[in-house]
Amino acid sequence: MATNTFARGLLLGAAAFGALAGSGVSASAEEVLNIYTTREPGLIKPVLDEFTKETGVKVNTIFINNGLEERIRTEGENSPADVIITVDIGRLAAAKDYGVTQAVKSEALEKVIPAAFRDPEGHWFGIALRGRVVYASKERVKQDKISYEELADPKWKGKVCIRSGQHLYNISLIAAMIAHKGEAKAEEWLKGVKANLAKKPSGGDREQAKDILAGVCDIAVGNTYYVSLMLNGKDAEQKKWGEAINVILPTFEGGGTHVNVSGLALAKHAPNKANAQKFMEYMVSDESQRIHADANSEYPVKAGIKIHPTIASFGELKADTIPIAEIAKHRKKASELVDKVGFDQ
Ligand SMILES: [Fe+2]
């Protein structure tokens, strides 16, 4: 298998393969695994190192911020990609839709990962969860409960901040609203949220906390892990943004908190398929779940694994039970609604 990889590397040449970190590509006697990922190097390195230590399989990682699916499709049958690691159902579903993944049948994965957080056909698996939650001003917001529906309540007029409605995190949230309430009600809701905005959607999730500190808005929508990154990171300014907010875990009326996944897929032409499956199954072991979720401040997908203390301090997560593969079906409509209500205008 490793020889096979070597041959592919030669075929592809330095331009395509040279970007792979490490030198495992030329060591044909080694067991290797090639990972294509959109995730920041530091976030997945700890768990990759541990995998290599345990199995002896050398991991080559290539980081591709944009166009991961296109790249694998262009490489075609000669693609060295074994495993794809990325975030958000939007990207995982995109990889499947692009035809660059293949189904995995694994009892180990199916036993650990609740059905709501993996593809029913086995093309992708969630390994960690993130909540899309409410950041609330510690100073100005006294309530400690909120529903997503309430974000459209006129009581918040001029007090809500959020990044672009077209960002994939918001598309998934709006798609979840469609899954819960249907298209017409979701549109009404989105109009209501827009009417409450303090400013035109801009920035990332962290900038919404910054705006709360600055008094621009009282509540904002953001992902759970950013709060931990702000509070525990090295940036003194961001620490202040994080300290200005409380996290409220919102729920849908009659549902739970909207969560999304970071996850894995087996590449369609994986040259090191056995190592890929070994890796995917390793990613749901107790040890890797703890290391990975801790490094990323995400919720482990496996029950009973210790949660990062900052994330645990938000209270108990009651994840919404609509399968995210179901939510993903409404993403296109969600994007159309964002344009229709002029959310970003
Ligand atoms: Fe993010």
d(CA 169, ligand 1 centre) in Å? 8
Can you say which residues are annotated as belonging to the binding site?
A: 225-226
Binding-site residue ranges for Fe cation: 225-226
> Do 194 and 222 belong to one domain?
yes
**Do residues 195 and 279 share a domain?**
no
Distance 343 CA to ligand 1 centre (A): 21
Q: What is the CATH number of the domain that holds 229?
A: 3.40.190.10
How far away, in angstroms, is 159 Cα from ligand 1 center? 23
Tokens of 4: 């096979």
**Cα 105 to the center of its chain, rounded Å:** 22
- The domain of 218 spans 129-257+315-340
Q: Look at residue 282 and tell me if it is in a domain.
A: yes
- Whether residues 202 and 183 share a domain: the answer is yes
In a domain, 172, yes or no: yes
- On whether residue 159 sits in a domain, the answer given is yes
13-50: string of b/e by CB count within 10 Å (b at 16+)?
Answer: eeebbeebeeebbeeeeebbbbbbbbbeeebbeebbeb
* C-alpha of residue 139 to centroid of ligand 1, in Å: 26
Find out whether 104 and 266 touch, Cβ atoms under 8 Å: yes
Cα(222) to centroid(ligand 1), Å:
9
Q: Where are the alpha helices (H) located in 283-323, listed in sequence order? A: 286-296, 309-312
Q: Is residue 310, in this structure, part of any structural domain at all?
A: no
How far is ligand 1, taken at its centre, from the CA of residue 335, in Å? 18
CA of 30 from ligand 1 middle (Å) equals 34
345, part of any domain? no
Question: Of 24, 36, 29, 26, which is closest to residue 269 (Cα–Cα)?
Answer: 36
Closest Cα partner for 322 from 26, 117, 28? 117
How many angstroms does the Cα of residue 205 sit away from the middle of ligand 1? 8
Give residue 276's identity as a one-letter amino acid code.
A
Tell me: do 206 and 321 sit in the same domain: yes
Cβ contacts of 300 within 8 Å, gap of 6 or more: 128, 129, 289, 290, 292, 293, 306, 307
SS3 252: coil
Q: Judge if pTM exceeds 0.95.
A: no
Per-residue pLDDT of the chain (345 residues; tens, 9 = 90+): 333 443 343 333 333 444 444 444 444 568 999 999 998 888 899 999 999 999 999 999 999 988 999 999 999 999 999 999 999 999 999 999 999 999 999 999 999 999 999 999 999 999 999 999 999 999 999 999 999 999 999 999 999 999 999 999 999 999 999 999 999 999 999 999 999 999 999 999 999 999 999 999 999 999 999 999 999 999 999 999 999 999 999 999 999 999 999 999 999 999 999 999 999 999 999 999 999 988 899 999 999 999 999 999 999 999 999 999 999 999 999 999 999 999 999
In a domain, 12, yes or no: yes
Do 117 and 17 share a structural domain?
yes
What's the total number of domains in the chain?
Answer: 2
* Dist CA 228 CA 334 (whole Å): 28
**334 and 323 part of one domain:** yes
**Which amino acid is it at 33?**
L
C-alpha 77 – ligand 1 centre gap (Å): 31
Residues 167 and 63 in one domain: no
Rounded distance from Cα 50 to ligand 1 centre (Å): 24
